[in-house]
Structure 1
Amino acid sequence: MRSSDVPEPKSDVSLNALRAFEAVARHLSVSRAAEVLGVTHSAVSRQVTALEAQLGVQLFTRDKARLQLSNSGRILFADVAPAFERLQAAVRNVQAQASPSTLLINVPPSFAMRWLIPRLAAYQRRRPDAEIRLTTGKEPLAEVVGRGFDLVVRRQSSASRKLDSVPFLTASLVPVCAPELLEQQAIRKPGDLRQHVLLHSNQQALEWPEWLAKAGVPELKPRSELVFEEIYFAMQAALDGMGVALVPSPLAADDIAAGRLVLPLYLPRVGARDYHYFASPASGSKALVEEFGQWLRKEGKESNRFAGELIAGLFPGT
């Protein structure tokens, strides 16, 4: 056969279109695919529609408003999904060989105990070659930057942010206590807190007064107070039924969902100081720092979604 007899192939299929298809097929949801890819719902729909037009087949069907893969869609997904996984693995392998694999991180102690460490196992499975050296500290971000850390996490308000830090985890203050405590003395309104022991850490000296003022009871005097060195000490005291602790919402979400702690009252965005990370521009592990920052944003987004759904279920309309 002469070369001129070989039919011209169709134009190359867009990699973005295949990525959009793979995400929709994996989640069977255009909205969820858009969220995962970080693009709009309409952008994903356009990519999938263009791919169907180019291939000349229907990739999805709807059964009672539920999205399903067509026969052609199942065939394509069976090959495309592992192909993307291999591409991602190849990129990670190259990055691991080309970049230093040690990451020096400094985070607040309670954040490390209650949020970061429980999630680090998943990151280590993803990057088993990465050596994480985790230290804790409570100094303001401006004071710790320049001490040789690759990445620093601190909780701060957007208004106080002076350095080029990246917000990744929403954190409002929420009062929590053990379920048994409410059986002894109910908390139905902020004023009921006067019958209870208020728990907090020594760096939270102004946070209970701020919360009580926003709740409309600025002069409230509790039965007593217990002050601890760290927030997670106050949380443990709350778990043990010693009183009501005021803590950043993401640190308590898992315990609330599991029923170990209860959230008797909720005021939206009171004491809002979200968690930010600062990536050192002088780091010798820039690729790893960027990857870890992306992972923090992904985990933070999932944590925010989980906490939002949890609070909405407990306090509809908030």
Structure 2
Amino acid sequence: MPSPPAAVSLNALRAFAAVARDLSVSQAARDLGVTHGAVSRQISGLEDELGVTLFDRHRNRLALSDAGRALFADVAPAIERLQTAVHQVRGHASPATLLINVPPTFAMRWLIPRLSSFQRRRPEVEIRLTTGKSPLGDLPPSGVDIIIRRLQQRSPKHAAVPFLSASLVPVCAPELLEQQPIRSPSDLQGHVLLHSKADEWSDWFAKAGVTGLRPRSELVFEEIYFAMQAALDGLGVALVPSPLVTDDVAAGRLCMPLDLQDVDTRDYHYLASPFSRRKDLVHAFCQWLSTEGKDSNRLADELITTLFPASATG
């Protein structure tokens, strides 16, 4: 009988997922706490083991190959579940630990900047964040205490609670509008469109009732955060969930040229695990989320009223 194929190294898969997430060997090395060379060797060994090329290399840039995209689609959620399971086991040693899984850009742009207010209230609670975008059904609720996702509507299968209003809105750097104003959706055809999912702009245009629009070009990124950074750098117009850019718009770093907040509304929801052993802490954190969400919604409404006074008065 032929020998079964050798098991692929978990470390190699972790290295691959880290590189694929940011398309950067250097960033992956920092995230994993190893050297640049170690990550490169893990990726080369994995490609040799699988007999495929996982990344297309263009000068100093990386892009996932077709095989790489297929592997990342399966490996990333699996590693996320493993990390969550490890955090859960570790969390048993500390009754004051909350394990929370959130989308990565939401963590960076909304949750982490506000966490200090919860920590001041409950300094004894240790927050352990894992990031991911897996659907609620793919992430066992027994693996975390709280899961946060942006959902179209409440799921009949999950008791997810909305706490933060969100819609996809176009944003760009102020200097971009000085060069080429955007007064209606049709004006977007003269701009580079930035987003993090294939067909996201075309879906948004369809919901906005805009047909036949052909932009100058499009840039698609792995994460919303990269599209936001590209917009801040003046590379084009990004399509971003509104709560993630409110602070930048209020500070004048980004502009929201169109009042089209009702085009694609999907609010952020939290799901409290029924299996959590820390129900009092979960309840406290969810109450805090609801309070912060209301404050954020109020500030967003005030900002929209300032930007678009005509729509506020009807």
- Offset at residue 134 of structure 1 (A): 0.3
Q: How does 1:206-217 map to 2 (within 5 A)?
A: 206-217=199-210
Q: 2:179 aligns with which of 172, 179, 184?
A: 184
- Partner in structure 1 of residue 235 of structure 2: 242
Q: Take 1:297 and 1:239, find their aligned partners in 2: how far apart are those partners? A: 29
Q: Take 2:156 and 2:168, find their aligned partners in 1: how far apart are those partners? A: 19
Q: Take 2:220 and 2:282, find their aligned partners in 1: how far apart are those partners? A: 36
- Partner in structure 2 of residue 305 of structure 1: 298
Q: Take 1:238 and 1:162, find their aligned partners in 2: how far apart are those partners? A: 37
Give per-residue Cα distances to partners, 1:2-55, cap 9 Å, x unaligned. Answer: xxxxxxxxxxxxxxxxxxxxxxxxxxxxxxxxxxxxxxxxxxxxxxxxxxxxxx
**SS at the partner of 1:301?**
helix
Number of residues of Structure 1 aligned to a counterpart in Structure 2:
218
Distance 1:161 1:305, change over 3 A: farther
- Partner in structure 2 of residue 124 of structure 1: 119
The answer to whether the 8 A contact 1:207-1:271 is kept is no
- Offset at residue 234 of structure 1 (A): 0.3
- Partner in structure 1 of residue 158 of structure 2: 163
Q: Take 2:293 and 2:153, find their aligned partners in 1: how far apart are those partners? A: 16
The answer to whether the 8 A contact 1:175-1:266 is kept is no
Q: In the alignment, residue 268 of structure 1 is paired with which amino acid?
A: Q
Return 5+ residue gaps in structure 2 as ranges: 1-93
- Offset at residue 161 of structure 1 (A): 5.2
- Partner in structure 2 of residue 68 of structure 1: none
The answer to whether the 8 A contact 1:156-1:274 is kept is yes
The answer to whether the 8 A contact 1:197-1:224 is kept is yes
Give per-residue Cα distances to partners, 1:194-250, cap 9 Å, x unaligned. Answer: 110000003xx3431122123332221110000111001100100000000000110
- Indicate the RMSD between aligned Cα atoms, in angstroms: 1.4
Give per-residue Cα distances to partners, 1:179-207, cap 9 Å, x unaligned. Answer: 011111111111111110000003xx343
The answer to whether the 8 A contact 1:145-1:152 is kept is no
Give per-residue Cα distances to partners, 1:75-122, cap 9 Å, x unaligned. Answer: xxxxxxxxxxxxxxxxxxxxxxxx921000000001001100000111
User: What's the % identity of the aligned pairs?
Assistant: 69
Q: Take 1:268 and 1:255, find their aligned partners in 2: how far apart are those partners? A: 17
The answer to whether the 8 A contact 1:108-1:137 is kept is yes
Q: How does 1:20-169 map to 2 (within 5 A)?
A: 100-158=95-153, 160=155, 162-169=157-164
TM-score (norm 1): 0.66
Q: How does 1:201-240 map to 2 (within 5 A)?
A: 201-202=196-197, 205-240=198-233
- Offset at residue 276 of structure 1 (A): 0.4
Q: Take 1:160 and 1:269, find their aligned partners in 2: how far apart are those partners? A: 20
Do structure 1's residue 271 and structure 2's residue 271 form an aligned pair? no
**SS at the partner of 1:168?**
strand
Structure with larger Rg: 1
Distance 1:150 1:160, change over 3 A: closer
Q: Take 1:314 and 1:304, find their aligned partners in 2: how far apart are those partners? A: 15
Return 5+ residue gaps in structure 1 as ranges: 1-98
**SS at the partner of 1:237?**
helix
